[in-house]
Amino acid sequence: MIPYGKHTINDEDVNAVVSVLKNEFLTQGNQVPEFEQSLCEYTGANHAIAVNSGTSGLHLSCLAAGVKEGDIVWTSPNSFAASANCALYCGAEVEFIDIDPLTRNICLIQLAQKLDEALRANRLPKAIIAVHFAGSSCDMKAIATITRQYGIVLIEDAAHGFGGKDPQGCPIGEGKHSDFVVLSFHPVKSMTTAEGGAVLTNDKRLADTVRLYASHGITRDTALFPSGEQQNPWFYSQQSLGFNYRLSDLHAALGNSQIRRLDDFIAQRKARAQVYHDALVNLPVVRPVFDNYSAWHLYVIELEMHDRKTVFEVLRSAGIGVNVHYIPIYRHHYYKSRGFAAHNYPNCERYYQNALTLPLFPGLTADMQEKVISTLQEALM
């Protein structure tokens, strides 16, 4: 089976992890700080906090933003459920902004209209989570311009985007126009730590808050306590109700090795996306906008005249692991039970009915990709 996504591991990665197993602390050692520094150097962000998943990073960002019961958080319905779940973890409500049919990211027109309606109804969101779908960045500069007057916290869900750039050519993760950028290092993403993620921010106060929540809410910072209490060498104190969201040194060692090849991974993804883009030009499909700045996490087509289930099954039967990204969040039974309905998001619904994700990853060989293309062509004849 040719999977839709797959990690790329070499001997350097294996040796990095084995070295930690043999010689270093398995957790709370030097590998995590080194990885965080590498993330800052790569993106230009001032602070990075490595965590055990992108989902944890989204939850921590909401917590550090002060999202709580009674607040509202907006996000895209065209994403994995974690983009919305993180707000619910904090007791907030979630609302969705329909997508732009071309970019498949949050629609700026819909955003402006929804903000105007929310202002009149006194229901402005505490935060907006902008999802960089398939590796193409939302226009965070434009979003910041639209939302700045309302004091809304901006969180970039960049789980798909690490290694790419925004429309202005700045690295995804720099966070010039947002409060937080959340990364994922799941095996199908741009690079991997097996499981893992990170929160990037340029605000030291927010970074300190994220780091505290990620480690049980416990600190050893003696400067925070009255004289005398902190003199014992074993001293530590819980300051808030935190979580165990830390990344281990084993995972960070893999990340430290992988990040050295990130640019090459992205270049390979882009090259394979270009092959698809050229080969499918005359087929009855809608191709994604070819974004030169994208990290190309996914290559998603939309079928124009064929039944998706039939095409999906033909490709799967041929050993090609096509997928669908995503079942819109509002379609999940849990969210239906909260009152969400498909007719409120016509652009996302139209996209979902026809979307099909083709395999795309650095290790996708020319022969594999030719099989995907030729089988798809046959299925559409």
What is the residue extent of each domain of the chain? 11-256, 262-379
- In three-state secondary structure terms, 302 is strand
CATH H-level, domain 262-379: superfamily:
Aspartate Aminotransferase, domain 1 (3.90.1150.10)
Across the range 185-208, mean pLDDT stands at 98
Mean pLDDT of 221-250: 85
CA gap 379, 221 in Å, rounded: 62
Per-residue model confidence as pLDDT tens digits over 277-316: 999 999 999 999 999 999 999 999 999 999 999 999 999 9
Does position 228 have pLDDT exceeding 80, yes or no?
no
pLDDT tens, position by position, 145-180: 999 999 999 999 999 999 999 999 999 999 999 999
pLDDT computed for residue 358 by the predictor: 99
What CA–CA distance (Å, rounded) separates 23 from 30?
11
First and final C-alpha spacing in the chain: 23
The answer to whether the CB of 8 falls within 8 A of the CB of 361 is yes
**How far is it, in rounded angstroms, from Cα 255 to Cα 32?**
9
Choosing from 114, 126, 165, 189, the catalytic residue is: 189
pLDDT above 90 covers a percentage of the chain that reads 95
| Average pLDDT rounded to a whole number, residues 198-219 | 97
Dihedrals phi, psi of 318, to nearest 5 degrees: -85, 5
69/366 Cα distance (integer angstroms) = 51
Q: Say how far apart CA 55 and CA 206 lie, in whole Å.
A: 18
219-228, 236-245, 358-367, 372-381, range with the lowest pLDDT: 219-228
Is position 189 annotated as part of the catalytic site?
Answer: yes
* CA–CA gap between residue 84 and residue 95 (Å, rounded): 8
**Is residue 51 scored above 90 in pLDDT?**
yes
Q: Tell me: the pLDDT tens digits for 72-120?
A: 999 999 999 999 999 999 999 999 999 999 999 999 999 999 999 999 9
Quick check: do 11-256 and 262-379 share a fold?
no
Distance CA 372, CA 200 (A): 36
Report residue 324's pLDDT band, with 50, 70 and 90 as the boundaries: very high
| Averaged pLDDT for residues 2-6 | 98
Position 232 scores a pLDDT of 79
Is 26:249 a contact under the CB 8 Å cutoff? yes
Residue 89 contacts residue 219 (beta carbons within 8 Å): no
| CATH among 3.40.640.10, 3.40.50.1820, 2.40.30.10, 3.30.365.10 for 11-256 | 3.40.640.10
Residue 185, φ and ψ in degrees, nearest 5: -120, 30
- Average pLDDT in the 198-208 region? 98
